[in-house]
Chains A and B, each alone.
Chain A
Amino acid sequence: MNSFLTFSNDNIWYEIWPELALVLGAVIVLSMDLFSKRERGFPSMAGPFAIFFQGLLFSFHLFDYLAWHPTFDRTTFSGMLSQGFKGDVMRSFFLLSSFLVSILGHRYLKANLLRVGEFHHLTMLATGGLMLLCQSDHFLMLFVSLETVALCFYSLVAYDRESPKSLEAGIKYLVFGALSSSLLLFGIVLLYGVGANPEVWGARFTGHESMDPLSFSYLHTFLAENPDHLLLRAGVVLVLSGMAFKIGAAPFQIWVPDVYHGSPMPVTAFLAVSSKAAGFFVLLNLVQGPFGGISDFLLPLLGFIATFTIFFGNLAACAQRNVKRMLGLSGVAHAGYLLVAIMASMLFPGDSDRAVWVLFFYLFVYMTASFSVFGIMGLARTSEESEHDFSNYCNLAEKRPWMAFVLVCGISSLAGIPPFAGFISKVLLISVAYEAELYFSLAAMIIGVVISIFYYFGWIREICFKPDKLHDDDSLPVDPWETVTTSGFVKIVLISLTMASIVFGLWQAPFGNSF
């Protein structure tokens, strides 16, 4: 009875009100779709409601939690969740990202005659899961929220049930996701098995038996005491493998191009931004929390993964003509760069959080650039939507100047060309890597960026430069940009994303002294 009382007293539900509100909104969206009179020709209000609701929630969260009342570091729910300023930054990040996904999705669903309600419902649920994932301080919580997210994504990837590509992508994502979840679970089990059992072979215990063996803080001390234990190391590697799947790092990157290719455009953007960012934040929590004690073992491993990821992503992307696959593979390369930031945060001299802030800035910049690119791509009316070839963008600059402008700015920001924010984020990353003395990864990163110019600039070349007269006859029978219509709202959102890319490239003062 007594323990139940402490347990219930510890559950401060108020602390997770944004997640609760999001779930409530998701249920409302679903029921709105259920009760709307579609056959009478009334447009469903579910989409606009979802957009408005998430926009409101985002701005409220942004101002309340980040600007006016920054959260103290604290744990709730019996140590399941730990909240702090960084977690709140990520919560705002996910809210913004899902707001943008809903906007892009709304237009996309209408254009492709897909059901509206479930999409927003799933998006909001996934975002709630991502927000909890970032605050989890316990492996049980981590796994449950990760699975919540994964389940939403499985159905979102296969959302377009008419398209064989989308279904195929869904199956692939399901199979690989299940594999990675099982690896993660097995890793957790190994950690638990050794950590909770004082009689296990070779491990040292110095009286933390009263603590929860799955909590991050217990595992931190336990791993620091037993850094050479083979089973623990195996568990750590398996957990990292599960996370590597989420972020698309080598050798778990193989699903990326296929799933990006097949899934509907807003879902691709959602996967590329939110899912990846969550993976990185969890990875950061892990290497700074429970796995902090064995960084000597992790650093070479991560260094190898980062280098391999950078080279694989960039070289494979060079060969692609399909832009969705290319973006997927370039996202793999970006994951490699971000892994360098993770390594830097492990090595950073002193207790400075600079590497972490650089990681956040990079993710934010990646979000603005990715959404503007995916947003424009989603506008195209190709016969088979996923067949986005370089040639579809031929001479877009003359046909649709503003779209070309948004697209080119987004691509340039991804490529890291000044004056866009992508350049500053890469500069910060390089400088952090220097300070952490990661010279080898740094060299890999610089070479990777140079290789990436080939495919990013190749795409810009198609957009901006007129085709040579010789190839005019084999141009596309249907111009995908001819009948494109956009609402003013989408236009404003895309232009402001572009403006964000430019403004934060020239002036980083809003981010304060974080770097």
Chain B
Amino acid sequence: MNFDQIILLGSIFIPALASIVLFLEICKSDKIAKKIAYFSFGFPFISGILLFLRFDNSLEGYDFVVLFSRTGLQELNIHFHLGLNGISSPLFAMAGIVGMGAGITAIHSGVDRLRLYLALLLFMQSGLMGLFASIDLFFYYLFHEFALIPTFIMIGIWGSRDRKSIALELTIYLTLGALVSLGGLIALNVLVDAPNFDFPSLSRAVSELGMESSVQSNIFGLLLFGFGILVALFPFHTWAPRGYDAAPTSVSMLHAGVLKKFGLYGLIQIASPLLPDGAMFWSPLLLWLALGNVLFVGLVAVSQSNLKSMIGYGSVMHMGYCFLGIAVCSSLGAGSAVMLMVAHGLSVSLMFMLAHNLYTRTGTFEMDDMGGMASKTPLLACFFIAATLATIGLPGFGNFWGEFGVFLSLGEQTQHRLFLFLAALGIIISAIFGLRAVAKIFFGSASEAHSSRKKNNQISDLSFFEMIPAGIILASLLFLGLWPVVVSQRVDREIQTRFESQDRTYFSQTTPPCCPPEQESLDLNSSLPSKEKFLSNPEY
């Protein structure tokens, strides 16, 4: 076992062990508990970045592979199999970074029963790291559940208003999604019967087996809707904003930022390349549903006056772009979706964290009760504006490359141009609610209740421990925005081979006659760079 494998295992098991230590109340003092928490949030953070840097870019497939095969389920071809590939390594690093941010926020949040809080959060972190490091699909699912279950408990114990009913709603909703997707995964396991229950073996077995397209579309449907519920796909999204609204900040950060990427990751890594006919079958419906995410949920976000629910709806809205990227069934779309997943994870967790910082200063999430904060807290205002711009998708931040790529992939095919036009409207919508929130909170005159607090000098700027995580996350967003090739190159290498067959069918498709002629004006193909150029050239 070499160094890389050890830190890969460590990034999963150190948080888990720390969680058990804190849970069993072995140490009675909060001070030591905080130190343990720092260490065990820091380890995945550092190992995520280290493994991201040490990842062998020339390698196709998995790096840092760890295999333990005697799990007792070997008859079902299930083995404990860890490793990172081009798609998972940026997400793994992102999980480490967001986990660090959420951890520091939690340590300094001053909740009651802090040790239990940290224990559950660390357990969640361990599940998140394991999720992206799993090659075996069963453990991929299992780690997801490890991360999911603390969410329910933490919302129930430390949540804000209506926490009990929201915790129950969330549990039922997400269990439904998890079980439907589990049904899809087991169907894959049983029907394909590959020697290992992981993507490479499955895809080899599928290519030998030649699965029928009706079977493919059934399984893809199970996976799509199972994962879709977990990612808050349009008609199944209602749990998400309510949940984030009620959840304590660190949980919202980890859930909206990292855990929700589980379903998208599954669709990109497994479902779409393995079941191309199924993906094609569901693509038209998925396009409309994703558009529902972008436009419908986006408009709902505009009407929110509560900052936290606005961020919640906004995050659900941006999931729509990821779904659009998946729905076009091409390597460009899927690759851009991965890019957007990484960037969105960072930006939405930053938003939740800053909203929490605002809450500790103003005592409210209602944007109408804030106002004129920029004069007192210039640094917080800076961070918040940067995060908002990142969410909108301004060039310079990682989100831009993701959204831009999704638009490009939509533009490649004439039948998708209508969606391109409508999805681009989403940018305007997110600019409306994002910038309006900035204006309401930081500029203008303060409300009465708020101005008295301001007068008494109760409002201070960001402290050191609030700045560190915000700084780290913002720096990674900027890094991603200015130098996307570090991510896009390895994603590209992984995705190109997976989506080879889909790309072939995709580019050979003729334009259907139903496409209206006025769409011609939206033809961006000639003026925009080709996808190879985009995904591998740092200049873009």
Contact = CB atoms under 8 A, between A and B. Distances in A.
Contact of B175 (A431, A449, A509, A510): A449
Nearest to A511: B72
B164 A442 contact: no
B176 A450 contact: yes
Contact of B73 (A449, A458, A468, A515): A515
Interface string A465-483: 1101000000000000000
Interface string A488-515: 0000000000000000000111111111
Contacts of B72: 507-512, 515
Contacts of A512: 72
B206 interface: no
B267 to A, nearest CB: 20
Interface string B168-205: 10011001100110110011011100000000000000
B182 A427 contact: yes
A434 B186 contact: yes
Contact of B164 (A419, A428, A430, A468): A468
A435 B171 contact: no
A458 B190 contact: no
A234 interface: no
B75 A513 contact: yes
Residue of B71, B75, B157 ringed by the most chain A CB atoms within 10 A: B75
Given A461-B168, A465-B163, A442 B183 contact: yes
A464 interface: yes
Contact of B190 (A434, A449, A465, A468): A434
A466 B172 CA distance: 20
Contacts of B172: 450, 453-454, 457
B168 A431 contact: no
Contacts of A302: none
Contacts of A466: 157
Given A419-B142, A465-B157, A430 B182 contact: yes
A511 B75 CA distance: 11
A94 to B, nearest CB: 24
Given A430-B183, A507-B71, A418 B175 contact: no
Contacts of B149: 417-418
Interface residues of A, number: 34
Nearest to A452: B175
A128 to B, nearest CB: 32
B142 A454 contact: no
B70 interface: yes
A355 to B, nearest CB: 13
A294 B382 CA distance: 76
A354 B149 CA distance: 30
A353 to B, nearest CB: 11
23 contacts: A354-B75, A417-B149, A418-B142, A419-B145, A423-B145, A424-B73, A427-B138, A427-B186, A430-B182, A430-B186, A431-B186, A431-B189, A434-B186, A446-B179, A446-B183, A453-B171, A454-B168, A457-B167, A457-B168, A461-B156, A465-B156, A507-B71, A509-B71
A450 B175 contact: yes
Interface string B128-171: 00000000001000100110010011001100000110011001
A419 B146 CA distance: 7
Nearest to A417: B149
Contacts of A454: 168, 172
B186 A449 contact: no
B525 interface: no
B183 A509 contact: no
Nearest to A357: B75
Given A430-B186, A465-B156, A417 B76 contact: no
Contacts of B179: 446, 449-450
A512 B71 CA distance: 9
B145 A418 contact: yes
Given A453-B171, A508-B73, A513-B75, A435 B142 contact: no
B74 interface: yes
A471 to B, nearest CB: 11
Nearest to B113: A398
Contacts of B73: 424, 508, 515
Given A468-B164, A509-B71, A453 B186 contact: no
A431 B152 contact: no
Contact of A465 (B71, B164, B176): B164
Contacts of B163: 465
Nearest to B175: A453
Interface of B: 70-76, 138, 142, 145-146, 149, 152-153, 156-157, 163-164, 167-168, 171-172, 175-176, 179-180, 182-183, 186-187, 189-191
A428 B190 CA distance: 11
Contacts of B182: 427, 430
Contacts of A424: 73
Contacts of B175: 449-450, 453
A464 B157 contact: yes
A449 B532 CA distance: 46
A11 to B, nearest CB: 39
Given A427-B182, A450-B175, A508-B72, 17 more contacts: A418-B146, A427-B138, A428-B76, A430-B183, A434-B187, A434-B190, A434-B191, A446-B180, A449-B179, A453-B171, A454-B172, A458-B168, A464-B153, A465-B157, A465-B164, A509-B70, A512-B72
Contacts of B167: 457, 461, 465
Interface string A395-426: 00000000000000000000001110001100
A513 B183 contact: no
Residue of B74, B167, B186, B187 ringed by the most chain A CB atoms within 10 A: B186
3 closest pairs, A vs B, by CB?
Answer: A508-B72, A509-B72, A418-B145
Contacts of A427: 138, 182, 186
Nearest to A352: B75
Interface string A260-275: 0000000000000000
Given A453-B172, A468-B164, A417 B186 contact: no
A423 B190 CA distance: 18
A450 B186 CA distance: 17
Contacts of A509: 70-72
A69 B187 CA distance: 38
A427 B75 CA distance: 13
A368 to B, nearest CB: 16
Residue of A354, A446, A464, A512 ringed by the most chain B CB atoms within 10 A: A446
Contacts of A464: 153, 156-157
Nearest to B163: A465
Contacts of B180: 446
A457 B153 CA distance: 10
Residue of B70, B72, B168 ringed by the most chain A CB atoms within 10 A: B72
Contacts of A446: 179-180, 183
Contacts of A461: 156, 164, 167-168
Nearest to A449: B179
Nearest to A431: B186
A457 B145 CA distance: 15
A509 B189 CA distance: 19
Contacts of B187: 434
B363 to A, nearest CB: 19
A450 B72 CA distance: 26
Interface in A196-213: none
Contacts of A458: 168
Nearest to B193: A435
Given A418-B145, A431-B190, A446-B183, A515 B75 contact: yes
A435 B190 contact: yes
B145 A417 contact: yes
A490 B496 CA distance: 59
A415 B74 CA distance: 24
Interface in A23-49: none
A463 B183 CA distance: 30
Nearest to A454: B172
A475 B75 CA distance: 51
A508 B71 CA distance: 6
B471 to A, nearest CB: 35
